Amino acid sequence: MTIVDVLTGFAESGGIGILKPGASLADVSERLGPPQDGEYFPSRRRKKDEPRNLRYGDVRLEVCCDILRAVALSTGSGSVDVPSGVPGEAEAMPSAVTAAQLREAFSTEGIRAEEGTWPEPAEQVTLVVRHSPADVHFTFRQTGPDESGGGGAVLHSAIARDTHHVCR
Ligand SMILES: [Zn+2]
């Protein structure tokens, strides 16, 4: 498995393997084992209705009402651990990928990605793939002078967040 496979799968299915917005934490835990704690400030008490931050390797989850609300992968660190599908196991892979590489992989798979439409800093490129309940956003950052229309920008993160979640 390569990072391009993982990201193409994310674009295609709306999730990273079974980690998808809308999935239940119980189902996910049964298949992948218990998640790891992903709180940024572990000692801080969460407010009521505030999502829990959990993770499988470097795949970060926001969980509310025991439902996955967001699934995110940051790729800027050079290497990521992604769950392999076997409980408790993750696969490490180099995470550097350019916008040109992903656009090519998407077009090979027939995946339609839109350019982000909201105002962005000039050095940032966003590709959006429509999914329900959550669109997948791929955000790239320009690392040097660009002569390829954003094609040389490097992926910073991929995230799908269900913004319509209503607590039960
Ligand atoms: Zn909720």
Q: Which residue, 129, 137, 135, is CA-closest to 21?
A: 135
Q: How far is the CA of 164 from the centre of ligand 1 (A)?
A: 10
75-103 pLDDT per residue, tens: 988 999 999 988 989 999 999 999 999 99
The pLDDT tens digits for 32-56 are 999 999 988 777 777 767 889 999 9
Which tokens belong to 81? 């651990």
Residue 141, phi then psi, degrees to nearest 5: -125, 135
What's the token pair of residue 95? Answer: 């995470």
Going from N- to C-terminal start, the domains of the chain cover 3-37+50-161
CA angle at residue 53 from 162 to 119, to 5 degrees? 45
Of 152, 156, 158, 166, the closest CA to residue 131 belongs to 158
Indicate the pTM of the whole model: 0.90
Query: Is the separation of the CB atoms in 150 and 125 below 8 Å?
Result: yes
pLDDT at res. 41? 78
Residue 64 CA to ligand 1 center (angstroms) comes to 4
CA 94 – ligand 1 centroid, Å: 34
CA 69 / ligand 1 centre spacing (Å): 8
